[in-house]
Chains A and B, each alone.
Chain A
Amino acid sequence: MLAPQVEIMLVAALAGAACALPGVFLFLRRMALVGDAISHAILFGIVVTFLIVRDLRSPWLLIGAAGTGVLTAVAVDALRRTGRVKEDAALGLVFPALFSLGVVGIARGVGNIHLDLDAVLLGELAFAPFDRLIWGGWDLGPRGAWVMGGLLLLNLTLILVFYKEWTLSTFDPDLAEIFGFRPAVLHYLLMGMTALTVVAAFDVAGVVLVVAMLVVPPATAALLTDRLAHMLGLSVLLGLGIALGGYGLAYALDLSIAGSMATVGGILFVLVFLGAPGQGLIAQARQAARQRQHLAQQMLVIHLLSHEGTEAEYEENCLKTLPLHLRWDPAFAAQVIQRAERVGWVVREGELLRLTEAGRRAAREIIGSNGGMIPLSR
């Protein structure tokens, strides 16, 4: 038997990885909020099942919840496919209706028994080590690890088998239909797999963790790569990382485990959002600055060329007046001139800035590529 801490981490990591896989497809299909929607909608299934079996610990409640999860996914998709509403509105129509029916069911059917039916599936990771799978007298470890491990394997297998079909029907459903891929069937399979994973993970790890693991790893991975296969792999890794990092935080500061994992996921996303190569905010700002520099240098050489050899040259192409004529901040102008000198486009002659042969050629090339028009530089 492993230490309870290790077992919690194992269950969380498996749940994170199992959720991150369908999460990627949901992200690409603009249905990232399916997890949250299902988390509210299952109240309906739980209430209906409870009214039949009248036992809060019955395994049928889980089955009722899973059934409602699949029903939600299918109803949302059917609604979307009518073409009358978009994905987000379809979600927003289905789950509040099911949740309301659930609340009404509690009020009418259960009445003053006063049960927290909405808390039936609120699994708590801290208790995962106490729920053990025992088979033939052998303690096989926490049940949650087996459930989530099994679902992870199932999801991996399905994705490997239907990789081509799901990829095409995600990015181009029309083409998939022309190829005879039956996107509806494929989609229901994907949604069924998602609903099953989500509901099982609710039971094991709680809603907070599941909704976070469905959204945060895929969205973070999308900022780091363009390729679907990489996105899937990266999402699983991020899911694992968030689970372990979050547990570390919760353990160190004695906080809610699932909440800490969601928080760590958020921190990770912010870091990537700022620092991702190519798409991060920092990279965007640097690229914008580079483009501004590039444009400014082009403007500089064109300006110099258009006044070269004219009477106004000493007035126009003078180091002191350039910022004024080009409407540049003096510090920015100094920077642009310095860089233009470094690439060998301009040289200083006292107060005058002169084009080199290379600079002249560059300016003519730019003007040429602008259709021969000399841009107004003043």
Chain B
Amino acid sequence: MGFAFWLDPTFRLVAVGSALIGAVGGVLGTFALLRRQSLLGDAMSHAALPGIVLAFLLAGSRDLPLLLAGASLSAWLGALLVVLITHRSRIRPDAALGLVLSVFFGFGIVLLTVAQRQPTAAQAGLERFLFGQAAMMLRRDVEGIALATVLILVVVLLLWKEFKVLAFDPAFAAAIGLPVMALDVLLTTLIVLAIALGLHAVGVVLMSAVLVAPAAAARQWTHRLERMVILAGGFGALSGVLGTLLSSWIGRLPTGPMIALCASGIALFSLLFAPHRGLIWTAKSPGGKRDAGPSG
């Protein structure tokens, strides 16, 4: 076995791509976590189904960029509905996400039954499109991921203050005249973009892990947003590299789930051992639980 795989260009490509997805997931996941929208990744990846099937029905082929465009568009529409529902009714983010997830996915299934009436066999396994394979990453994919990563990070940096206020106190943000709904739409759009990146590379369920686990881990180590975002990005990137490493090292292990498991492991470690907030730490110090501060 040895360490020869470091030199393998395929391995390095997958590792770099996974690290970038992990980093973006960590950064954006931090905001999602603070806004109680951790499951946005899960909901949006289900909401992508009707877009995929519609793109197929309209084009009549399984052209990859086209299906991706359909998926992103439909996930984005779902995300907008989540923003609208939470802003304009008493329904909280979790239920709004659940509504969009179940209805969009159900509608996608309805469209699938329509697609199955097509005379061609090309519709077979359209839903499988949602379960990506990181090992299949191409150079072109990684370049696209890198470009989107830079774009997302630049927007987050430019709107840092606005996003910060939005994450901690949306009522205050509205009071000082920030366009809360527009910012919310922008932030959600960025998250959808990240999901679209990760969807094909690591798959649906694993994209949720990349959005939640690094951010939840980072939250245990610090109370400051700056540090939390950097830590979460780092944890995400680390999970990406570690997961790729393990899957090519041990063999017969799919990359996506290994990335998710690495992220979960980091989160578990942080929940237990992080100073001040970790469960082991607080169990040992008297009155420790009080030091832990608020959750989320």
Seen from chain A, the residues whose Cβ lies within 8 Å of a Cβ on chain B are 27, 30-33, 35-37, 40, 79, 82-89, 91-93, 95-97, 99-101, 103-104, 107-108, 111, 208-209, 211-212, 214-216, 218-219, 222-223, 254-256, 258-263, 265-266, 269, 273, 279, 281, 284
Contact = CB atoms under 8 A, between A and B. Distances in A.
A44 B38 CA distance: 22
A91 B38 CA distance: 9
B99 A266 contact: yes
Contact of A266 (B107, B113, B211, B260): B107
B37 A88 contact: yes
Nearest to B271: A84
B61 to A, nearest CB: 23
B205 to A, nearest CB: 5
A168 to B, nearest CB: 20
A216 B295 contact: no
Interface stretch (B15-23, B86-94, B181-189): B86-94
Contact of A108 (B46, B92, B208, B252): B252
B254 A107 contact: yes
Interface in B58-114: 85, 88-99, 101-110, 112-114
Contacts of B277: 84
B212 A33 contact: no
12 contacts: A37-B42, A84-B277, A85-B271, A85-B296, A88-B38, A91-B38, A100-B261, A104-B258, A259-B109, A259-B113, A263-B106, A269-B103
A277 to B, nearest CB: 13
A36 B103 CA distance: 12
B212 A89 contact: yes
The 6 closest A-B pairs by CB, nearest first: A262-B106, A266-B103, A259-B109, A92-B212, A96-B209, A100-B257
Contacts of B37: 88
Interface string B246-280: 00000011101110110010010001000001010
A208 B260 CA distance: 24
A92 B102 contact: no
Interface string B220-234: 100000000000000
Given A32-B94, A261-B106, A85 B99 contact: no
Contact of B211 (A79, A86, A92, A208): A92
B103 A265 contact: yes
Contact of B212 (A96, A212, A215): A96
B110 A82 contact: no
Contacts of B94: 30-33, 87-88
A211 B260 contact: no
B225 to A, nearest CB: 16
B260 A100 contact: yes
B206 A96 contact: yes
Contact of A222 (B90, B114, B209): B90
B206 to A, nearest CB: 6
Given A32-B98, A100-B206, A104-B257, A259 B252 contact: no
A190 to B, nearest CB: 16
A218 B260 contact: no
B209 A100 contact: yes
A256 B112 contact: yes
A73 B258 CA distance: 23
Contacts of A86: 33, 36, 38, 295-296
A86 B215 CA distance: 12
A92 B209 contact: yes
B200 interface: no
Contacts of A284: 88
B264 A279 contact: no
B98 A219 contact: yes
B295 A259 contact: no
A213 to B, nearest CB: 8
Contacts of A219: 91, 95-96, 98-99
Contact of A33 (B98, B106, B209, B254): B98
Contact of B95 (A32, A79, A101, A209): A32
B201 interface: no
Given A86-B36, A93-B267, A208-B102, 13 more contacts: A30-B36, A33-B42, A36-B39, A83-B292, A86-B33, A88-B93, A101-B261, A211-B105, A214-B98, A219-B91, A222-B90, A262-B103, A266-B99
A215 B99 contact: yes
Nearest to A268: B103
B292 A84 contact: yes
Contact of A104 (B107, B114, B261): B261
B39 A88 contact: yes
A69 to B, nearest CB: 16
Nearest to A264: B106
Contact of A259 (B33, B110, B289): B110
B197 interface: no
Contacts of A83: 289, 292, 294-295
B252 A107 contact: yes
Contact of B91 (A88, A96, A212, A222): A222
B253 to A, nearest CB: 6
Given A86-B36, A92-B39, A96-B213, A104 B106 contact: no
Nearest to A213: B102
A92 B41 CA distance: 9
A33 B107 CA distance: 18
A27 B89 CA distance: 14
A111 B252 contact: yes
Contact of B105 (A93, A104, A223, A262): A262
Contacts of B38: 86, 88-89, 91-92
B91 A223 contact: yes
Contacts of A92: 38-39, 41-42, 208-209, 211-213, 216
A276 to B, nearest CB: 9
